[in-house]
Amino acid sequence: MHYILQVIVSPAPPRVAGFLPALQAKLALWRCRNHTRRQLTMLDARALTDLGLSPAQQSAEAGKWFWQP
């Protein structure tokens, strides 16, 4: 559950100089998004209410690809 809150309220990732560090940062961001969206699909109505999300918002966010913000 901690990861979901992190995605919702975290600031943009810092800018990284250099191709390889930038690629690593982008891959880490995509992996985090994929992980949190999979976790979001497992939440029940009570957990969604605690987060302030509707089932429609849950579906919309979980339906995004990992590269979509």
What confidence tens digit (pLDDT) does each residue in 18-50 have? Answer: 889 889 999 999 999 999 999 999 999 999 999
Residue 20, both tokens: 């390889």
Residue 41: its pLDDT value, please? 94
Residue 66, both tokens: 């990992």
Residue 12: partners with Cβ closer than 8 Å, 6 or more residues away: none
Give the span between the Cα atoms of 36 and 18, in whole angstroms: 27
What is the rounded average pLDDT of the residues 4-24?
70
Residue 13: its pLDDT value, please? 63
Give the span between the Cα atoms of 32 and 58, in whole angstroms: 17
Answer whether 0.95 is exceeded by the pTM: no
Specify whether the CB–CB gap between 29 and 10 falls below 8 A: no
